[in-house]
Amino acid sequence: MRRYGGMNIEFKRLDKLYRSFEVSKVKARNETFKAIERTTKKAQANSKSIAPVDTGYMKAHINQLSTKRHGDVITGSYESEAYYGGYVEYGTYKMAAQPYIRPGTKAAEPFFYQELRRLLSV
């Protein structure tokens, strides 16, 4: 599978937020993993809902990738498998941009904080 356009979601420097909940670092990391995974799914759904449609292929092929953990950094990713997804997102000299990945991700950002607060408050 070749990646043509997508987004990685990373939230860094969450130590202050973790301390405010007074939870162990292990619990904080595990719950953050879940929150990133759910936020990525939400961002993917947002992007699908605003993706421009001609044939429907691009919209149908915006897929979530596996969430990864590298030490204290957790990354959620999703992508458009359509080879022209990046051209639609950023435009070309012949075509205006019709962003759908970046706005979908931005709209999901508040969800991450709500979800993390919910998971860490338990």
Question: For the segment 83-115, what is each residue's pLDDT rounded down to a tens digit?
Answer: 999 999 999 999 999 999 999 999 999 999 899
pLDDT class for 1, splitting at 50, 70, 90?
Answer: very low
Q: In a 3-state reduction of DSSP, which class is residue 105?
A: helix
56-83 per-residue burial string, b: 16 or more CB within 10 A, e: under 16: eebbebbebbebeeeeeebbbbbbbbbe
Task: Report the chain's mean pLDDT, rounded to a whole number.
Answer: 87
Q: How far apart are CA 18 and CA 32, in angstroms?
A: 10
**pLDDT over threshold 60, residue 55:** yes
Rounded mean pLDDT of 38-46?
A: 96
